Amino acid sequence: MVDYFIKSALNGHVIDISGANRANGAHLIAWPQKPGGAENQRWALTDAGGGYYFLQSALNGNVIDIYGGSRENGTHLITWPRKDAGADNQLWALVPAGNGRYFLQSKLNGNVIDIKGASRENGAHLISWPRKTDGVDNQLWTLEPAGEALAPTTGALTIVIPPGKLVAVNASAQSAGDQTVLIKDASGATAFAAQGRSTTGGAFTTIGAGTFTSVGSGVYTVELTRNAGILQGAHAIVHKREPYLTTYVFGTNDGGAEAGDRDFNDLVVTLQVFRSAG
């Protein structure tokens, strides 16, 4: 799971759980980014399908929630445990606004995350408000990778590719079988695919090495497949080191082509997001 700082275009402040409060119902504010990657300022995108995401805190796993499921303009945003049903007030779409910025739009009523009153003060509250057509910096956000993170995930990894970047994909396998790496955009369309076949006997074969693709900025999922099945038990390590971001995704073997393969990690994918020369 990749963590991000969600940074305002208004003043560079980030979405912050006030006082690093772990209690349900803690308020969300805009606050200067803290050194060291504070957990109350880091958020992961958990795919909920249909182009929507839960925005999940690294502090306690709670998600960004419109208080009480209210559709009223100006309702405060809080953190709350993720719901299994009736979660429209916890689901958000990333609507591109150009230059790597996004509106974070609620499935509940189409309102967006807004810094109340366009205040530049530390601790300004975050609310739900109709999307504006001008003077919108207090409604625009960028997602900045929060450095190194390690957490379990399954099936797919969500990444945000900044503008002006290119992606290099390298994939290697330790066991036999067809290996496929897919990068899909928010609509589910495949923006990049690398496929190859590795050899038996634990050979370490590289597929799609050094392949560059200009998939453009946006939110993508990376899927690892083997023998026509999505790999389970995958995890990701993300390192932010300028001028590039490298993501390693390790997929566990789903049974192996041979009995001897079953204990091996099966597929290793490296995504490198480079600054384009232009």
Mark whether 83 and 121 lie in a shared domain.
yes
Does residue 261 surpass a pLDDT of 50? no
pLDDT for 175 equals: 53
Mark whether 63 and 180 lie in a shared domain.
no
Residue 37 and residue 139: Cα distance in Å, rounded? 23
Q: Of 101, 128, 145, which residue sits at a domain end?
A: 145
Task: For residue 201, name the pLDDT band (cuts at 50, 70, 90).
Answer: very low
Instruction: Give the domain CATH number at 70.
Output: 2.80.10.50
Q: Of 114, 145, 176, which residue sits at a domain end?
A: 145
Mark whether 119 and 195 lie in a shared domain.
no
Does residue 35 surpass a pLDDT of 50? yes
The mean of the pLDDT values for the chain is 72
226-253 residue pLDDT tens: 543 433 333 333 333 333 333 444 444 3
| Token pair 């998600």 in the structure block, residue | 63
Mark whether 135 and 214 lie in a shared domain.
no
- Average pLDDT estimate for 168-180: 55
Does residue 33 surpass a pLDDT of 90? yes
Chain centroid, CA 261 distance in Å: 31
